[in-house]
Structure 1
Amino acid sequence: MKKEYRIKKNDEFQRVFKKGKSFANRQFVVYKLRREKEDTHFRIGLSVSKKIGNAVCRNHVKRCIRQTFHELEQEIEQGNDYIIIARKPAANMDFHEIKKSLIHVLKITKVLKKTRTSGSK
C-alpha cells in the first residue's frame, strides 16, 4: 500500500471519527468518510491497541489488514477515508480469517463492488 494512501495525522483520524459513519463486527470496527475529491484513491488508517498483544502481534494484524486492502483494491469504493480498528479477537486470527472478517464488515459498510463472489479469491 502506497504511503499516500494511508491516514497518519491525528487531525485526519479525528475528522473521520467525528464526521464518518461506523460499522462493526466482532473483530473490526470500520469508520467511513466520503472525501471531497471523488475521483481520488481511498485512504486507510489503522488502529491496533496495545490490548491486542505485543508489537509483533500488532504488526502482524496491521500487515494482514494492509494486504487485504491491497488485494481488494479494485473492488473497494474509491474516494473514501477508512479507519480500521482491530478488536481483541483479531489477535488470534491468521491472514485468511482476518481477510474474511474484513470482507464481512466491508459488505456491511456497502463499499465492495458487486463483482465479488463470496468465498473466492
Structure 2
Amino acid sequence: MKKELRIKKNKDFQTVFQQGRSFANRQFVVYSLPKEDQDFFRIGLSVSKKLGNAVTRNKIKRYIRQSVFELKDQLLPGYDYVIIARKPAAEMDFFMIKKSLTHVFKVGKVLKNR
C-alpha cells in the first residue's frame, strides 16, 4: 500500500475516532471520516496485542491490507478509514476476512453500487 494511502500519525487516528462515524460486525469495527480536500481514501489499521503474538497480528494486517487493495475500486474516495480487528479475526483466513470486511463496508454504506 502506498504511503499516501496510509494513516500513520496518532493525531489523524484520533481525528477519525472523534469526528468519524463507526460501523461494525463481529470481526471488525470501521470508523470513516469524509475529507473534502482529498480525492483518494486512506486506511489506518489497529490490531491489539490481545489478538495474539506479533506473527498473528502481522498476518491479520497483511490480510486486511490485501482485502482493501482488492476492494479499492469499490470504496468511496475522499474518506479516511480506521479498521480495528476484533478477537474472532485471529482465527480467520484471507477469504473470510475479505468477506467480513466487504460486509462491514456495506453496512456503513461506503461501497459504491456496482
Q: Does TM, normalized by the shorter one, top 0.5?
A: yes
In terms of fraction of residues, the more helix-rich structure is 2
State the AA in 1 paired with 2:72.
E
Residue 111 (structure 2) pairs with residue 112 (structure 1): yes
Using the TM superposition, give the Cα deviation of residue 36 of structure 1 relative to its aligned residue in structure 2, in angstroms. Answer: 2.4
In the TM superposition, what whole-angstrom CA distance separates every residue of 1:41-99 from its partner, at most 9, and x where no partner exists?
Answer: 10000000000000000000000110011001111000000000000000000000000
Residue 5 (structure 2) pairs with residue 5 (structure 1): yes
Question: SS of the residue aligned with 2:50?
Answer: coil
Q: CA RMSD of the aligned region, Å?
A: 0.7
What is the aligned length? 114
Distance (Å, rounded) in 1 between the aligned partners of 2:89 and 2:25: 11
Q: Percent of aligned positions with the same letter in both sequences?
A: 66
Distance (Å, rounded) in 1 between the aligned partners of 2:2 and 2:27: 25
Residue 22 (structure 2) pairs with residue 19 (structure 1): no
Question: SS of the residue aligned with 2:15?
Answer: helix
State the AA in 1 paired with 2:10.
N
* Residue pairs, 1:1-121, within 5 angstroms: 1-38=1-38, 40-115=39-114
Distance (Å, rounded) in 2 between the aligned partners of 1:3 and 1:89: 28
Listed as ranges, the gaps of 5+ residues in structure 1 are 116-121
When normalised by structure 2's length, the TM-score is: 0.98
4+ residue segments displaced more than 6 Å: none
Listed as ranges, the gaps of 5+ residues in structure 2 are none
Using the TM superposition, give the Cα deviation of residue 30 of structure 1 relative to its aligned residue in structure 2, in angstroms. Answer: 0.1
